[in-house]
Amino acid sequence: MPYILSDLSRTPFSGIAVNKKLLNICTKWIDEGNAVFYPPSDQCTVLNFTGNLGAATGIFYSTMFQLRKWEFNVKKAGETIEVSPVHQQYYQLTQKQKEDLESRIKKGLASASQSVADLELLEHDLRKYQDFIKYFGMEYNEESGSFENTKNNDEHTLKAIFIDQIDYHAGSTGQGAGRLSMSFMQQQNIMPTIVQNFLEMQSPEDTEKNSKLKDIPIVEKKLLEEKWKAYNTWKEIFIPEVKKRYVRIQGLVNSREKSVEEYKEWLKPVVARHKLIEEGFENPKVAGRYKTLFVNSIGQAISYNNMTVWAWKSFAPSELQKASGEIIAKARLNKLIDPYDKWTRDNIIFHPEHGIQATYPWVTKELVDQWVKEIKSEYLSSSNKLYYIFFVLSFDRTNIKFPTGSEIEDVDVGLNSNMMSQNILLAKLLEIKAQQAELERHINAMLGIQNDIGEFKTSEIKKPGLSESFDKFFNIELISLKRKGPYETDFEDRITKFYLKQMGGGWYATILKFIKDKVGFGEISS
């Protein structure tokens, strides 16, 4: 099941909430005083208007600007677009733009992938030369750009490298060990211990001083001394070369890392633009709706555009405005009416079945805590605003271009209001934060940037106590001595008469009248 506050839509004409679970559970929230949410069925309407090209766009923007003037917070919650290829002009402006962005993204990702492949090869070579640097008892200081001695050289490994990769080819005429190499002499049992003897040597004098080496044949001693000279000559030649190549490869690695990051930064706005152009058919529900839409015709030049907007504003009935509000303010200061309280966290935001993770599985508690701070700072800073009116406005615009060249626009403007307490508003606005973060995650996933996923633990739902089970079993209601929450609990008298009634006659009627006036409802055309 998705996040319980995700769907605030209504059924046409009746105005009843589509989200039945939310509609059923919100009465329990009100009875307990833990939260207030109610979608009045008589405060929902859809206005249809048909006009010339640009008329629907004018209605949308004039409504949005006016809501801001009325001090509403306004956020776009979603948008989809679908354009028939027959409508060439509009198709070029929208769908063709998305196709061009897709082409740019593919080319950019190909370049980024090649840079990543080159980077991995360079990093492999860098690790190889870094090992050589350690074997020689040095380390590279990036700040000073110089090599420093660590006095922890690995002479044994260097000898093994010399034997296997340098001396192995001495006297070689083809495949296999060279006839003058120590490996060949050991394999052919000419000098079976020469490799071990060379590894034990610390200096040429060891052939006379070392108890294990002084008794070996003179021929082997002379050969060991010659191999020791060759070994030191190789080190003298190899050390400067290793340093030079290490510095060069390190520079190339840094350059490639920078180019990969630059590719990703260049592509971020392109991917973001592509994601924001969301086609209607990408959503199965929207695609099914378009299939049965009466104006839809494959042979006609038609475009569809749907936008959903949230607008909310603090709200208090006139009766409460007469009081000084000292009690509410004092409770707020004492953190008694915190919108992010334990009940809201356990029963809404972090609920294991219908919490925010049900829709956004990647959300962590740390993320939610951060978003809550931002929402409180931006939208819930007032100390005495406990209740809000929350509007969901939908604009379904259809553009039709006739074969004659003339165009019309038809728009369905949906308006429905909801009453909610501050904690419900907080939980609802988390969706905006999640949508913004999801866009960033989508961009990162496209570009191969790892998204950090923290641990998310949902709170355990408290099991019903003995008294609750007893009441349920005998189907009786006992007077509960449990303290109710801080919000309104009297739905029949206070919420309906003082809140919902003033909402309907106040902002709902005002916004509805504004849209009707812009459309020209009731005017007689001359």
The answer to whether residues 299 and 334 belong to one domain is yes
Residues 309 and 407 in one domain: yes
Q: What gap in Å lies between CA 429 and CA 478, rounded to an integer?
A: 37
| Rounded Cα–Cα distance for residues 88 and 95 (Å) | 10
Q: What is the pLDDT averaged over residues 29-57?
A: 91
- Please name the residues in contact with 148: beta carbons below 8 A apart, sequence gap of 6 or more: 138, 139, 140, 141
Let me know if residue 113 belongs to a domain.
no
Q: Give a yes or no: residue 349 inside a domain.
A: yes
Q: How confident is the model at residue 187 (pLDDT cuts 50, 70, 90)?
A: confident
pLDDT one-digit tens code per residue, 358-405? 889 999 999 999 999 999 888 886 656 889 999 999 999 988 888 888
Domain-embedded: residue 481 = no
Indicate whether 228 and 85 sit together in one domain. Answer: no
| Number of structural domains the chain divides into | 2
SS3 state of residue 318 = helix
pLDDT averaged over every residue in the chain: 81
Q: Is 105 within the bounds of a domain?
A: no
My answer on whether 358 and 389 are in the same domain is: yes
Pick from 4-13, 226-235, 298-307, 511-520: least confident = 298-307
Residues 403 and 300 in one domain: yes
- Two structure tokens written together for 448: 């191969």
**Do residues 327 and 420 share a domain?**
yes
pLDDT at 479 over 60: no
Question: Of 254, 273, 292, which marks where a domain is finished?
Answer: 273
Helix axes 422-447, 365-379, angle to 10 degrees: 120
447 and 343, same structural domain? yes
C-alpha distances in Å from residue 69, one per residue of 56, 62, 73, 313, 391: 20, 11, 10, 12, 16
The runs of H, that is alpha helices, within 70-94 are 88-93
pTM: 0.69
Instruction: Please determine, for residue 323, whether its predicted confidence score (pLDDT) is greater than 50.
Output: no
Query: pLDDT (tens digit, 9 = 90+) per residue, 232-280?
Result: 898 888 888 888 998 899 889 988 888 888 887 888 888 877 777 766 6
CA distances, 178 to each of 170, 182, 223 (Å): 5, 9, 15
Question: Between 510 and 185, where is the model more confident?
Answer: 510
Higher pLDDT, 443 or 389: 389
Confirm whether 31 is domain-assigned: yes
Res 59: pLDDT? 92
Residues 304 and 246 in one domain: no
Q: What is the DSSP string of 237-256?
A: HHHHHHHHHHHHHHHHHHHH
- The CB density around residue 107, as the number of other CB atoms within 10 Å, is 11
Lowest mean pLDDT among 10-24, 205-219, 388-402: 205-219
Q: What does the pLDDT read at residue 336?
A: 59
Within a domain: residue 253? Answer: yes
Please indicate, yes or no, if residue 100 is contained in any of the structural domains.
no
pLDDT tens digit sequence for 375-386: 988 888 665 688
Q: Categorize the per-residue pLDDT at 170 as very low, low, confident or very high, splitting at 50, 70 and 90.
A: confident
Residue position matching structure tokens 């801080």: 486
Q: Are residues 72 and 135 in the same domain?
A: no
Domain containing residue 268: 125-273
Flag whether pLDDT at 462 surpasses 50.
Answer: no
Q: How far apart are CA 246 and CA 267, in angstroms?
A: 31
Is 500 a member of any domain? no
Tokens of 166: 């340098």
Burial class (CB in 10 A: 0-12, 13-18, 19+), 495: buried
What single string gives the DSSP state of each residue in 356-400? Answer: GGGT-TT--HHHHHHHHHHHHHHHS--TT--EEEEEEEEEEEEEE
- Could you say which of 427, 452, 477 is where a domain stops? 452
Question: Which residues is 79 bridged to in the sheet?
Answer: 307
The reported pLDDT for the residue numbered 511 is 95
Q: pLDDT grade, residue 333 (50/70/90)?
A: low
C-alpha–C-alpha distance, residues 86 and 89, integer Å: 9
Last residue of a domain, one of 273, 288, 303: 273
Q: Are residues 442 and 296 in the same domain?
A: yes
Sign of CA pseudo-dihedral 421, 426, 431, 432: positive
**195 shares its domain with 220:** yes
Same-domain check for residues 168 and 229: yes
Q: How far apart are CA 95 and CA 73, in angstroms?
A: 31
User: For position 330, what pLDDT does the model report?
Assistant: 52
Return the biggest CA–CA distance within the chain: 125
